Structure 1
Amino acid sequence: MKINWGTAIVLVFIGFISFILYFVVRMNTEQKFTHDLVTEEYYKEELAFQKEINAEKNAKTLEGTIQIKKTDSGLLILFPKHTNSEDISGTLSFYRPSNKKLDFEVPISLSNAQMLIPDKNLIEGRWNITIDWEFDHTPYLFKKSFMY
């Protein structure tokens, strides 16, 4: 049987389309290829966004800023020196964009205006940290992306 150019082109297109459709169906049906949203309750968080903006403005008005340093024993978070570490309350949220199973939240417990996150909690890669804290009845918010 002889195949001309027109038939060969049609067969190649059919093969290519079948190949693409196979992977589209496979990625949408297999559980190991999950497609996580950034957050589960997106619209609920959007309504609280103005509070975040105000808290970030408050953080920018402080004399010092929060510093994040990688050490041998983990991640060291340094709060501004002029704040009394006993009066600070809040949470640290660690978000891993590539895998939501690695996300975790830690309450703030300071010693000498610093906090250490142990090395065992963080694996190498990109992390987003959100520090939502309150000092002297004023909310503050600090966000940063970093590579660990």
Structure 2
Amino acid sequence: MPPGTYLRKRREAAGIRIGEVARQVALMSFGIRPYQTGQILFELVAAEDDRTTLSPPQTALLQHVFPFDRTIYGQLVDLALADPQTLPHLPQPRICTRCACSWNDPCRSTIGTSDGSFFILPCAWTSGPEIDGKEPLCSACAHAPAPGTITIIPTPTNPAKEPA
């Protein structure tokens, strides 16, 4: 997975639009004024399109806006810049192909109990090359409908009463 795709998928999994990310980064950056949001947006779009990569200080700032694993991002940047001949010998980080979560940045599901309490569970790996030969998916994505699919929810029928 390219590093920009990883960032985009993690941002989308957090439910944040890229313009909102730019606005929040502009507001928290020392020396950057809110009117520079357009420049930050331009850099974020370029990073998500894999036309550039973000520096460690930039990713540290970005991590305050939405969760992602900076180590995974760094590994993906290294893989993107690696010599194609050495690429097969480099370790590949394990990332969910749908939401891009990883071991250090899992999806979290809130589970309610009958007594009204709840607890939060991280996702787990349900598929992958070493499990079943498929693309890696986390448990949250494996049980969710694929993006773009239409889910039909049956409605209870109310048969019309026969006139008396």
TM bucket by the smaller chain? under 0.3
Larger radius of gyration: 1
Question: TM-score w.r.t. structure 2 length?
Answer: 0.21
Question: TM-score w.r.t. structure 1 length?
Answer: 0.23
Q: Which has the higher strand share?
A: 1
